[in-house]
Amino acid sequence: MKRSKTSAAKKLSSKEDSPKTHSKQSSTVSKRVLEMPRSGNRKPKAPMPAQHQEKPGIESEIRPRPKYLAPTYKGSEKLKDKVAIVTGGDSGIGRATAVLFAREGADVTIVYLKQEQSDAEETRAAIEAEGRRALLIPGDVTDSAFCKRAVEKVVKEFGKLDVLVNNAAFQQSQEDIADLSEEQFDKTFKTNIYGYFYMAKAALAHMKKGAAIVNTGSITGLEGEKELLDYSSTKGAIHAFTKSLAKNLVEKGIRVNCVAPGPVWTPLNVADGTAEDVKEFGSEVAAKRPAQPEELAPAFVFLASEICSSYISGEVLPVLGWEQVAG
């Protein structure tokens, strides 16, 4: 299994929600979140259990469950009273980031696929368990009109927007370029780079000096990956988009950075590889295991917070399981 299959959320869908709307399902999910273990720091190593899910993949069905609560991470108001949007925030890196943003004092909106409603409810419960407000907006980030509506809804609900995390993505392996259809190529680009552009453009209409955008890149965008031609290309584009937009926004005082993960234990990979591939996922990096989402989330906090990174913009931060990149 390629180390390069990194985490993000998936292509996004349609019904909107409110932080004031709570169902019986939400109450049940809240109880499950509160009952999850919050101690211990052991990370599962390869071989992982053989498993495969149909896209987009549901995190609650993965075994072992991806870790996102980061029990040893102590918040210190790095994002106190900030308002953030995390696309792909229902699961994986997006979920873990949303939880730590809340622990640092932010109110968080997550954008996600309608089919992932159960995962989104668990993320909302985790945000609220940190004492912050959560807003759920399913929708399609390939639709520029939806991205604009989503941002406007957040501003109407919370009165401002301080942080955007572009994290939603689509990934499908193909062994040969002959197997990569034009339809898949287009879908990958529309989700992974058009979606980032649409969300950034919509968000910047409301962002003020001191705001931040953090994009999710990938080791595949730095080194390439032979079975992920389209995905790797979009991640390289995200890295260049990050650096270019950072330069564009210097005079406005808005920072733009990127986190480039290696292998991360998320639904994205369980829904892409075969069951046998998943067994060895992450085994080829120096750490001999995939990252847990909670190990990526602090990097997003660091780049989102002026307290931590006011002097940093236009950077791509690799988080690769003790691996290194040249340069």
Catalytic residue (one of 73, 196, 231, 311):
231
Exposed, middle or buried by CB within 10 Å (0-12, 13-18, 19+), for 23?
A: exposed
- Cα 63 to Cα 81: distance, rounded to the nearest angstrom: 35
- Cα 5 to Cα 308: distance, rounded to the nearest angstrom: 28
Catalytic annotation present for 231? yes
Cite the beta strand spans of the chain per DSSP E: 83-87, 107-112, 134-138, 163-166, 212-216, 255-261, 316-319
Dihedral over Cα of 272, 299, 224, 4: its sign: negative
Peptide bond into 64 cis (omega under 30): yes
- Of the candidates 293, 290, 295, the one whose C-alpha atom is nearest the C-alpha of residue 49 is 290
Looking up tokens 């109450």 gives: 27
Among all residues, which ones are annotated catalytic?
A: 231
